[in-house]
Amino acid sequence: MITLEHADIRRILPHRHPVLLVDRVLDLEPGSRITATKTVSGSEPCYAGLDEDLPTSAYAYPASLLVESFGQTGAVLWLYSAATAGERREGTLIFGSAREVTITGSAYPGDVLRHTVEIDQLIGDNAFMRGETWVGERRIATLGSVLAVVREGIAAGTGS
C-alpha cells in the first residue's frame, strides 16, 4: 500500500498553494486507483471576503474546487504511475473536461474530502478517470469521466 504525504505530492503535481488541493494520499495502486484527502478549512481563500451573517449554506465548498481537487487527485495517480513505469510526462498539465458529474451533497469547513479515483483510459498524453468524493460515510459527488492532459509548449489554460 503506497501512501504519500504533502511533501511527496508537491514533487508530483505542479500546483502550489493556494491551488494545490490534495493534502494526503491514503492509498495508491500504480496504473489503477488512488484514495486521497483534502481537508476543507475556514481559512480557504474561497471564504475570504464573504459578507457577515450568512447562513451555513454560504460555506458549502464550491463544486468547481471539489472537481479540481478530484482532478488533481487523478493527476497524482497518473503522473506517479507514469514515473513508476519509467515514462516522463513533459509539458503543462491541463484539466481537459469533466462529464457526468453528479453533486449530491456539500462539504463545509472542518470536513475532509475523500476522493476515490480510478484510471479509465490512457491514450498517450491523455488520461480519463472516474470516481467518487466522500465526506465520512456520505458520498457527495460522482464523476463519470474526467480528462486530464499534458500538452507541450502551450500556456496553461488554453483548451486547444
Whichever of 96 and 109 has its CB closer to another protein, that residue is: 96
Nearest distance from residue 52's CB to another protein, in Å?
40
Asked if residue 152 lies in contact with residue 108, where contact means CB atoms within 8 angstroms, the answer is no
Nearest distance from residue 132's CB to another protein, in Å?
20
Whichever of 63 and 122 has its CB closer to another protein, that residue is: 122
The residue among 16, 9, 156 whose CA lies nearest residue 73 is 9
Nearest distance from residue 151's CB to another protein, in Å?
8
Nearest distance from residue 89's CB to another protein, in Å?
15
Which runs of consecutive H residues, i.e. helices, occur in the chain? 6-12, 63-84
Which residues contact another protein by CB under 8 A? 96-97, 121, 123-124, 126, 128, 147, 149, 159-160
Whichever of 42 and 124 has its CB closer to another protein, that residue is: 124
Q: How far is CA 139 from CA 8, 59, 66, 104, in A?
A: 27, 18, 13, 7
Whichever of 27 and 100 has its CB closer to another protein, that residue is: 100
Main-chain dihedrals φ then ψ at residue 117, nearest 5 degrees: -130, 140
Residue 72 CB-density burial (10 A; 0-12 exposed, 13-18 middle, 19+ buried) = buried
